[in-house]
Structure 1
Amino acid sequence: MAHKDAPKKPAKTGETREDRLSAALKANLARRKAQARARGDGMDGAGQDGAGQNNAGQDNKG
């Protein structure tokens, strides 16, 4: 039976953390690009700042 008190090798936290962060950043960027493309398909370049999107039929004079 193996000893439970035996020290384990320390993980290479620097490399593994960097790899995980890099992969997460890449996935996040890909997701954001896909979202931007999906929004861009229905917008035709008009109103890119998002102002007035939910104001159909409303008077904006305050």
Structure 2
Amino acid sequence: MSATDESNPQNQDQRRHQPTETELRTARAAQKLRENLMRRKQQARARRSGQADLTEGLPAARADESST
């Protein structure tokens, strides 16, 4: 049998590559960066068109609530 035989278990393992923790972390970081970029572009478009900025997350602190 040759080393390139498809019945070789090593060749089957190489085809079914399980992503490593580093690859998963990199993919998650890339996804977060894409989401952040889309959110920032949406905010910039909203500012240009004069619409309200509908961001997700914590609202800005109000002056009357922070002084109590």
Structure 2 Cα separation of the partners of residues 29 and 16 of structure 1: 20
Q: Describe the shift of the 1:17–1:29 C-alpha distance in structure 2 as closer, same or farther (beyond 3 A).
A: same
Q: Describe the shift of the 1:11–1:19 C-alpha distance in structure 2 as closer, same or farther (beyond 3 A).
A: same
Q: Describe the shift of the 1:49–1:17 C-alpha distance in structure 2 as closer, same or farther (beyond 3 A).
A: closer
Partner of residue 42 from structure 1, selected from 40, 43, 49: 49
Structure 1 Cα separation of the partners of residues 6 and 53 of structure 2: 63
Unaligned runs of 5+ in 1: 51-62
Is 1:33–2:37 an aligned residue pair?
A: no
- SS of the equivalent of 2:9 reads coil
- Specify which structure has the higher proportion of helix: 2
Where does residue 22 of structure 1 map in the other structure? 29
State the identity as a percent: 11
Partner amino acid for 1:39? A
Q: Structure 1 segments of 4 or more deviating over 4 A?
A: none
- Which has the bigger relative contact order, CA under 8 A and spacing at least 6? 2
Q: Describe the shift of the 1:3–1:48 C-alpha distance in structure 2 as closer, same or farther (beyond 3 A).
A: closer
Cα shift at 1:12: 4.5
